[in-house]
Structure 1
Amino acid sequence: MGAVWLWGASDRTQRHLGNKFENNGQDFGAVLVELPLVVIVGVVLPGLVWGLGAWVLTRRERGRGRSEVHG
């Protein structure tokens, strides 16, 4: 939800949605193209960051465990 809110609040998006005098320059193509990408990134990116963090922590624990046992 944060990614969608941030996208919607940006000046660029407001300009495309016609937040000007009498809706001059209104372009719903921005919504049709950008909004699905924002939703996908908002769903995928946190999972990737969490997975990368878990992988790094697992590698660190494995490395420390080996050195204590064999060292």
Structure 2
Amino acid sequence: MKRRGDGVTCGGCALSAVGATAAPLLWLSMPRTRRHLGGGFENEGMDYSVLLTELPFVVLAGAFLPLLAFTLLSRLLDRRRS
């Protein structure tokens, strides 16, 4: 089994970091999240428990889904070259 280059490894880590940063920002921009965090009429529907229940899953999904896609794409391209 051939070892992949450091550039591919660094690219996967960078993509994971970008995904873990971008996913919460996208989550915060959603109308449902804004409503839960105080954007409702006269604080209607404020629910700060979403920070403890949803936010960790958003960060994990943002980190792992791009990494999974990158890994699958990298393996498919490696198989085509061989």
TM-score w.r.t. length of structure 2:
0.70
User: How far did residue 29 of structure 1 move?
Assistant: 1.6
How many residues are treated as equivalent by the alignment? 62
Deviation of residue 19 (structure 1)?
0.5
Which 5+ residue runs of structure 1 have no aligned equivalent? 63-71
State the one-letter code of the partner of 2:71.
G
Shift >2 Å, 4+ stretches = none
1:4 lines up with 2:32 in the alignment: no
Q: Who wins on radius of gyration, i.e. which is larger? A: 1
2:52 paired with 1:32: yes
**Partner amino acid for 1:55?**
R
Partner of 2:72: 52
Aligned residues: CA RMSD: 1.0
2:38 maps to 1:21 = no
% identical equivalent positions? 45
- One-letter amino acid of the structure 1 residue matched with residue 74 of structure 2: A
Give the TM-score, by structure 1 length.
Answer: 0.79
| Aligned-pair CA distance for 1:22 | 2.7
Secondary structure of the corresponding residue to residue 39 of structure 2: coil
Q: What's the counterpart of residue 42 of structure 1?
A: 62
Q: 1 or 2 for the larger relative contact order (CA 8 Å, sep ≥6)?
A: 2
